[in-house]
Structure 1
Amino acid sequence: MKKDQLIKSLIAGLFSAITIGALTYLTYKTTFGLFLIASFGSSMVLLYGFPESPFAQPKNIFFGHFLTSAVGIIVLNFIPLPIYITIPISVGLGVGLMILLDVTHPPAGGNPIIVIIGSVSYDYLLSPIILGSIIVLVFGIVINKFVLKKKYPQKWI
């Protein structure tokens, strides 16, 4: 293993733990609400391991999570079909729309599954999706740009 690869992996792991730790603390140790979703864990891989990737840019992280979660909620509430049909429909729609709208964030592809299995309400879009994504992005920008001195974000829009 190369020294650079070892350092990159340790840094990505450390800052992923710090970011997810903050979301976990807010979710379980405060009364502010829900801030944590499983797909944020996958977002850490891109945000800290590959911040130069187009999939790791703020626009993609925020709108990818928002769009796919919204699709899941809409399908859940307006398509009265069995779960084994609504899940693939919502994932397909979410992935297709992310690509169409140029906000592709691969970890967000799982959000419709989370939404439908959890039978979440519209409030889920505010917390954890919007607020959690904003917190993830604040950590990502501060850590990548100011701590690690990387050119992040590569582009805002």
Structure 2
Amino acid sequence: MIKITKPTLQKALIAGFFSAFTIGVLTVLTYKSTLGYFLAGSFGSSMVLLFGFPESPFAQPKNVFFGHLITALVGVIFVNFIPLPIYINIALAVGAGIFFMILLNVVHPPAGGNPIIVIIGSASYDFLISPIIFGCIIILLLAILINKFILKKNYPLK
């Protein structure tokens, strides 16, 4: 039997609420404005870290922003310049994205899915600007405001 403690329940409720709020903001901007796309599938899993485990090194702004940007860029490069079958391109692009995140010390595990999204969708370089760059900026602004000023957490870590 699973025992749910009050602190766990509180943490789960807070993370769920602020994750829904943040993705809701991106969704409204995407579907109710003419500003462009702000949603990427991998942003959903970023919410787990940003609002459930903001103290994690993987949830820090540098990791979130550059992890998403690098892996999406790898996906776009594979779509445009590596003429291999999709099942090989996806595997190689995910591996290359993880390689570069670790090499550059900007690991953000949810970003590992970006090459899959990019290659399946045949996304162009525009995908890097919208949704990746603009979406990450909004996500990080909300994560900093919510974690630091509303939840009074030490986020981002120094």
Task: Give the TM-score band, short-chain normalised.
Answer: over 0.9
Q: Distance in 1 between matches of 2:101 and 2:26?
A: 24
Match of 1:8 in 2: 11
Q: Distance in 1 between matches of 2:40 and 2:126?
A: 14
Once superposed, which parts of structure 1, at least 4 consecutive aligned residues long, lie more than 6 Å away?
A: none
The percentage of aligned residue pairs carrying the same residue is 70
CA deviations on 1:87-114 (whole Å, 9 max, x unpaired) are 0010000001101100000000000000
Aligned partner of residue 25 in structure 2, secondary structure: helix
Q: How does 1:50-89 map onto structure 2 within 5 Å?
A: 50-89=53-92
2:31 to 28, 33, 39: 28
Q: Distance in 1 between matches of 2:80 and 2:156?
A: 35
Q: Does 1:103 align with 2:106?
A: yes
Q: What amino acid sits opposite 1:138 in the alignment?
A: L
Match of 1:133 in 2: 136
Q: What amino acid sits opposite 1:132 in the alignment?
A: G
Match of 2:148 in 1: 145
Q: Distance in 2 between matches of 1:84 and 1:2?
A: 44
- The Cα shift of 1:65 comes to 0.2
Q: Distance in 1 between matches of 2:15 and 2:86?
A: 36
Q: What amino acid sits opposite 2:59 in the alignment?
A: A
Q: Which runs of no fewer than 5 residues in structure 2 stay unpaired?
A: none
Q: Distance in 2 between matches of 1:84 and 1:124?
A: 21
Count of aligned positions:
155
Q: Which runs of no fewer than 5 residues in structure 1 stay unpaired?
A: none
Aligned partner of residue 34 in structure 1, secondary structure: coil
TM-score (norm 2): 0.97
Match of 1:43 in 2: 46
TM-score (norm 1): 0.98
Aligned partner of residue 153 in structure 2, secondary structure: coil
